[in-house]
Copies of this chain bind each other. A is one copy, B any other.
């Protein structure tokens, strides 16, 4: 496409202005020099308002997440990588192989083009790693003070292997409950960064695409996998309560085997947080037939993102659909839904 404008964008000192969302020359330039450049793929190069894809046969999983995290850059990631990981993971939690992503940007007037470029490159890298090209998108600009830097909404689409039926309503008494690794890393990393807390060991977000891990789990136990969920906002406690409610069961977990990094535990004490309620962006909770738990734990621990996978509890019959925890001290307590907002804008 011949460029309908003359000067390249200034990605060092330039800023986004209202014209970049106006549909004219300036927007075409931003799309060509930034988005198409870095999200480089044949669908975007077609420059249509939609992407045309060929999907393999099978049931299709689709998921959308709007990302409003603050700050935009945090230890272990940024809003760009997070927007890919969050949506890839939501698609993968159906057992699907995520295939494509779309992205809608809402940008505040005056946002530095250098930061936008950093976000777009990070997003592009995350998409390549996850194997999910960003095939179409949209850019809107709102006046200064009407947004907060950048918001990114991503939609992911994937195809579910035949015979796989993973859903939040499939947990049954007797099932095992597994987590793929340490909990609370993402929320604590973001909070520590907001509060300017420093620890001896730097706490990094666990933000990562879990589709490879899920594919390994599906391969070893295609029918024994019942529920998968990534415990993001509201943390593990919320995901377990959701699953208990959807399936009409109770869940009992054990505190002792629950993987929590020492530095995350320490930071939670300082910040007054309960790690059970702190967001994760690279972990999953899995409910499976009890006899498949060992095989699943083995493949999970063989995957870089499941090295600390653990059996943490079991599903029980419970008309109240409570989530309970056997504490390290020998007691048992209810792990309730969070009522309000422990950590605003964590994803």
Contacts and interface: CB of A to CB of B under 8 A. Distances in A.
Interface of A: 1-2, 4-5, 17-19, 21-28, 46-55, 57, 59-68, 90-91, 93-94, 96, 100, 102-106, 135-143, 145-148, 151, 153, 155-157, 160, 167-169, 229-230, 232-235, 238, 241-242, 245-246, 279, 321, 337-345
A24 B340 contact: yes
A46 B338 contact: no
A164 to B, nearest CB: 10
A252 B344 CA distance: 53
Contact of A22 (B4, B28, B242, B340): B340
A47 B93 contact: no
A47 B102 contact: no
A48 B241 contact: no
A96 B238 contact: no
Copies of this chain held together in the complex: 2
Contact of A25 (B138, B146, B337): B337
Contacts of A65: 104, 138
Contacts of A50: 61-63, 90-91, 93-94, 96, 156
A246 B46 CA distance: 8
A49 B62 contact: no
Among A4, A50, A157, A232, the one with the most B-chain Cβ atoms within 10 Å of its Cβ is A50
Contacts of A21: 233, 341, 344
Contacts of A143: 344-345
Contacts of A338: 22-25
B19 A339 contact: yes
B24 A341 contact: yes
25 contacts: A4-B245, A19-B340, A19-B341, A22-B233, A22-B340, A24-B234, A28-B242, A46-B169, A47-B242, A49-B90, A49-B230, A50-B62, A53-B62, A62-B135, A64-B103, A64-B138, A65-B138, A68-B140, A106-B106, A138-B153, A140-B151, A142-B151, A147-B148, A155-B155, A157-B157
